Chains A and B, each alone.
Chain A
Amino acid sequence: MRLSWKRTWLINLNKWFIYTVFTLLICLCTALLGFIAYIGDTSHNNDRRVFESSVWNALQLQVQSYRFINYFSSLDSSSAVTHDDISFEYELLMSRIDLLRKGEIGELIREFDDARIIKLLNVINGELELVSFDIAKIEEGDNSYIEKLLVRMNRIEPNINELISLINKDNTEYINTKFLEHQTNLTTIEVLSGILATCLLLLCFFSMKALSELRAAFVINKRLQSGIETIHENKTNMTTHVLHEMRHPINAILAATKALRNKDEASPLTKAELPNHIEESGQQLLNTVNMFSDLSEINIQKLSLSPYLEHLRNRVETYIDTLEHQLARKNLLCSVYVDPSLPTYVSLDFNRVKAIVIGLVQNAISHTVKGSICIQIRPSSLTTPLLSGPMQEDRITRGSDTRMLQIAVKDTGLGMPSQLQNDLRTMPSLRRKEDEDILDKVGLNLSLCFKLVELMKGEIQFTSVEGEGSEFWVDIPYNLPEKQPEQPTQLKLSNTRALIIEEDQQLREVIAQQLAIFDINTSLSSECTGHNNQQYDLIILGRTDCYEGDLLEAINQWHTEATPIINYQSKVFKGIEAALTPITFPLLQSKLEETLTHLFKHKIAE
């Protein structure tokens, strides 16, 4: 969330930065173009041209005045001059004065040196106008005026020289000013061009970055699109699974309800069982709904763990007890063993533990036709929980009060095909939330288990032999309370020897483990014969292939020896029922403790 906020902030910053650079770029371009247009204005060139023309015409005035003087100096008193020749020379000279006084050159000269030049020009013009009187006299044939004319022209000469020097000085100043202006303009253009180039570089940089982000966005978009398609596909699959999982309990409820209403005599269930059946199906339905809900919440990362302190064994036994009818329907025997080395009270999210336990056992029930399902809760060989997901990832150390326990569910079922086992082992993403087709592979129960175990930072492993059965074991972390609540003293039946007759090896071993909690030494056997020379304080009679006669003989002998017999044989032994203490499955420790307390009350009293 924080990262996302930071990214949004950066994107906004980039966006505004690009806008600023764009605006700056446009402003700079406008400024640069405007400036270039200003300095490139032809009027400036015109000014320069006028200045140059003024200097040229002033010099031409001087040259022409010398020519004018030379012309009249070459004349003597006897020279005959024509009107046209004199007028020509005079007009030539005056045309230079006119060029300096009129037009744009005249306008420029008027502003020079506080009008000093125009005043000087007027003086020269006035003097030359006076020359015209001398010319008129010369034209009339009076050559004596030639001398006067030359004197007058010599008097004008210093003025013309001053005029030239003034115009030249102003022109030099103008050139100097223009040079400085051009230098300044050049510097300004250089600075503007530099900024423009920088802006362009920045723009290129941000454009490249934007392109790169766009490309990344396209990739993300494509991935998201693919994700959406997968989600739609998963949604359809999920609906199919929901229907599949819910159809059975709903049908069961409907059938039971119909049977109740019709009082159907042909129904295999008695009227007393029907409400239980409905309740069980309802419960199963509720469990299924909860499982789907949990699965969905895990997938959207909304499911959080809420650990709380509880009696571990009691909780687990309660969960298994709810499955009694399902087990009974398939005639499956189930026993629960909780290792006494585990703390009595532990802090766990028991709602999730319940889902895991029920999920694993229901999965076992589904895949077991006959035999038993054994649940063992024991300390884990792992010491710390996973950081997340796959087993290969690093573990974390949460503190001294965090430990691991193992929930193992072993069945004598069909086992998993080797292909499915390979798939499960070679797909590390199986436990990943993205991989939704896990439902197709292993069904709802195991899917939820995988997800929950991952959520709890635990591990799930399995072993399976096709046709012989499977074992799933889950390692999950738990926290110890600072202080364990007070507990009643554990029943101890030291020096008690028990014989367990059970053809199912895994079941008899788990029952032995259960009895070991009460300090009872056990002998295990699948046969009812061959135990005559042994002295036992307790017989647990389970499923066996013994001949009925042998079995009756053995029972009678144990009964004669007053050895208590706990029986869960389905056979009916007429006449000796009193010798047998029945026990129901699932075989829970609490139930076994109660039975043992009843059977050995005299020994406990001692």
Chain B
Amino acid sequence: MRFLYIPLALILSFSSALYALDTPTGRTILTVTGAIKTTNSDQGAIFDMAMLNALPRHSVATHNLWTEGLNTYEGFAAADLLKLLGNKGNVLQVTALNDYMTEIPVSDFIEQGAIFATHQNGKRMSVRNLGPMMVIYPFDSNENVRSDIYYSRSIWQIKHIKSIITTE
């Protein structure tokens, strides 16, 4: 009978890992709201830099319009973040510090290889350097994203993400 507790404990620990989200200890960098299941505050799911850095890392090396030369951007994949939050939405409304807002389909992060970059050339991106977070597409390696649509989706100084469900 005692052995029956072991699988139950495993299931519980798995479900808690699925839905549990730490509380940020540092300055809040990102707030995620909308069609998500997991939150850690009244505002929604809030993250500090340490929490974001804990997500699996991905990198993209590319040129872009706003910086000089070839830069290597490192950050996390939206898929990992959204999986962590139990996302149901298919479009992300991403807002910058200056309140500029753009909509990015979740598929862009899967099909086009976009990431949320937090580091540029190994250094954390400051607000002055378009940080703390920036959506970056692989402009050099994927010619499909060299268009106004994707340039307008390359939002920087991100502070808020809202997951929404669209019918289209």
Which residues of B, 93-141, contact A by the 8 Å Cβ criterion?
97-98, 100, 126-130
Contact across chains for B148 and A49 when beta carbons are under 8 A apart: yes
List the B side residues contacting A49 at CB < 8 Å. Answer: 65, 148, 151
Q: Which residue of A lies closest to B126 (CB)?
A: A91
Separation in Å of the B155 CB from the closest CB of chain A? Answer: 12
Contact across chains for B66 and A92 when beta carbons are under 8 A apart: no
List the A side residues contacting B66 at CB < 8 Å. Answer: 53, 99, 102-103, 105
B contact residues, range: 10 to 19
Say if the beta carbon of B146 comes within 8 Å of chain A: yes
Say if the beta carbon of A265 comes within 8 Å of chain B: no
Contact across chains for A95 and B157 when beta carbons are under 8 A apart: yes
Contact across chains for A103 and B157 when beta carbons are under 8 A apart: no
List the B side residues contacting A98 at CB < 8 Å. Answer: 128-129
Separation in Å of the B16 CB from the closest CB of chain A? Answer: 33
**In the complex, given contacts A53-B65, A60-B98, A95-B129, what are 20 additional A-B residue pairs having Cβ atoms less than 8 angstroms apart?**
A45-B148, A46-B65, A49-B65, A87-B127, A88-B97, A91-B126, A91-B128, A92-B97, A92-B127, A95-B127, A95-B130, A99-B66, A102-B68, A103-B65, A103-B66, A103-B67, A104-B65, A105-B65, A105-B66, A106-B68
**Pairs of residues from A and B, 9 with the lowest C-beta to C-beta distance, nearest first:** A91-B127, A91-B128, A95-B128, A103-B66, A94-B128, A104-B65, A103-B67, A92-B127, A103-B68
Question: In whole angstroms, how far apart are the Cα atoms of A67 and B27 in the complex?
Answer: 21
Contact across chains for A102 and B67 when beta carbons are under 8 A apart: yes
Contact across chains for A64 and B98 when beta carbons are under 8 A apart: yes
List the A side residues contacting B157 at CB < 8 Å. Answer: 92, 95
How many interface residues does A have (CB within 8 Å)?
A: 24
Say if the beta carbon of A393 comes within 8 Å of chain B: no
List the A side residues contacting B130 at CB < 8 Å. Answer: 95, 99
Identify the interface centre among B65, B98, B128, B157: most chain A CB within 10 Å of its CB. Answer: B128
Given contacts A63-B98, A92-B97, contact A50 B129 (CB under 8 A): no
List the B side residues contacting A42 at CB < 8 Å. Answer: 146
Separation in Å of the B163 CB from the closest CB of chain A? Answer: 25
Q: Which residue of A lies closest to B27 (CB)?
A: A84
Q: Which residue of A lies closest to B64 (CB)?
A: A103
Question: In whole angstroms, how far apart are the Cα atoms of A102 and B120 in the complex?
Answer: 16
- Could you list some 25 contacts between A and B, CB below 8 A? A45-B148, A49-B151, A53-B66, A60-B98, A67-B98, A88-B97, A88-B127, A91-B126, A91-B128, A92-B98, A92-B128, A92-B157, A95-B127, A95-B130, A95-B157, A98-B129, A99-B130, A102-B66, A102-B67, A103-B65, A103-B66, A103-B67, A103-B68, A105-B66, A106-B68
Q: Which residue of B lies closest to A93 (CB)?
A: B128
- Interface residues of B, dominant DSSP: loop
Q: Which residue of A lies closest to B156 (CB)?
A: A95
Question: In whole angstroms, how far apart are the Cα atoms of A104 and B126 in the complex?
Answer: 21
- Interface residues of A, dominant DSSP: helix
List the B side residues contacting A99 at CB < 8 Å. Answer: 66, 130
Question: In whole angstroms, how far apart are the Cα atoms of A135 and B128 in the complex?
Answer: 16
List the A side residues contacting B67 at CB < 8 Å. Answer: 102-103
List the B side residues contacting A84 at CB < 8 Å. Answer: 27
Question: In whole angstroms, how far apart are the Cα atoms of A42 and B67 in the complex?
Answer: 19
List the A side residues contacting B27 at CB < 8 Å. Answer: 84
Q: Which residue of B lies closest to A88 (CB)?
A: B127
List the A side residues contacting B100 at CB < 8 Å. Answer: 60
Separation in Å of the B121 CB from the closest CB of chain A? Answer: 14
Interface string of A42-75 (1 = CB under 8 A from B): 1001100110010000001001100100000000
List the B side residues contacting A92 at CB < 8 Å. Answer: 97-98, 127-128, 157
Q: Which residue of B lies closest to A102 (CB)?
A: B68
List the B side residues contacting A64 at CB < 8 Å. Answer: 98
Given contacts A84-B27, A95-B128, contact A50 B98 (CB under 8 A): no
Interface string of A87-129 (1 = CB under 8 A from B): 1100110110011001111100000000000000000000000
Interface string of B138-168 (1 = CB under 8 A from A): 0000000010100100000100000000000
List the A side residues contacting B148 at CB < 8 Å. Answer: 45, 49
Question: In whole angstroms, how far apart are the Cα atoms of A84 and B66 in the complex?
Answer: 25
Interface string of A456-468 (1 = CB under 8 A from B): 0000000000000
Interface string of B70-85 (1 = CB under 8 A from A): 0000000000000000
Question: In whole angstroms, how far apart are the Cα atoms of A64 and B67 in the complex?
Answer: 20
Q: Which residue of A lies closest to B127 (CB)?
A: A91
Question: In whole angstroms, how far apart are the Cα atoms of A60 and B155 in the complex?
Answer: 14
Which residues of A, 11-68, contact B by the 8 Å Cβ criterion?
42, 45-46, 49-50, 53, 60, 63-64, 67
Contact across chains for B128 and A50 when beta carbons are under 8 A apart: no
